[in-house]
A and B are shown apart, each in its own frame.
Chain A
Amino acid sequence: GESVGLHLPTLSVQEGDNSIINCAYSNSASDYFIWYKQESGKGPQFIIDIRSNMDKRQGQRVTVLLNKTVKHLSLQIAATQPGDSAVYFCAENLPWGNTPLVFGKGTRLSVIA
């Protein structure tokens, strides 16, 4: 289940189940979105991205869905594995070049073996 901790919400899933991590982004002008995985003490690791002209994109075991109407992004992880345990952040970017990514609050995914 999902719970909201002091700062990061936590999602706990059984190994082998599918995970869905949600993100609300802030700027309706953003046209590029990225999901990152961050393990403790490390920098963010790219998972998958999507541009605003798409509403779905699939990778290996991961799918990103974009709903621009409600400014919502989701990351689906199929057959979740213990190695998927980490903090996941969505990030958004504005359409003009060389602007920084703006990160969402993050969700901690905890996989129960």
Chain B
Amino acid sequence: GAVVSQHPSRVICKSGTSVKIECRSLDFQATTMFWYRQFPKQSLMLMATSNEGSKATYEQGVEKDKFLINHASLTLSTLTVTSAHPEDSSFYICSASWTGGNYGYTFGSGTRLTVV
């Protein structure tokens, strides 16, 4: 149980275009989802926390107008990278918290974004 599906797994886009990444909780309701970014050989850095039905909370230094997060339902959160630039190329990972007898976290499989 507590499976999170993230797609696409890989995407290549041109500079200036926008890319949407989806994160779905398959067998539980995720009231809260987290979005992380990971650069090569580095750790996961939290970008934002999204709560269903409300605005996301962004970490310091993360541009909310560039990284649009929508959490319109209990099973879906999306991250849209707008006007992408090569420096946005990274590995993006979503995570959902759940309470299934034991409070826990589950992660998506990640999205490799390459902006050319």
User: A residues near B, CB below 8 A?
Assistant: 5-8, 32, 34, 36, 41-46, 49, 89, 93, 97-98, 100-106
Contact = CB atoms under 8 A, between A and B. Distances in A.
Interface in B81-116: 91, 93, 95, 97, 99, 103-110, 112
* Dominant SS among interface residues on chain A: loop
A100 B51 CA distance: 12
* Dominant SS among interface residues on chain B: strand
A46 B1 CA distance: 13
Contact of B43 (A32, A45, A103): A103
B45 to A, nearest CB: 8
A45 to B, nearest CB: 8
Interface in B25-42: 31-32, 34, 36, 41-42
B41 A101 contact: no
Nearest to A89: B43
9 contacts: A41-B91, A41-B112, A42-B110, A43-B107, A44-B107, A46-B106, A101-B105, A103-B36, A106-B43
B110 A41 contact: yes
Interface residues of B, number: 27
B34 A7 contact: no
A101 B34 CA distance: 9
B46 interface: yes
B43 A43 contact: no
A5 B107 CA distance: 26
B33 to A, nearest CB: 10
Nearest to A108: B41
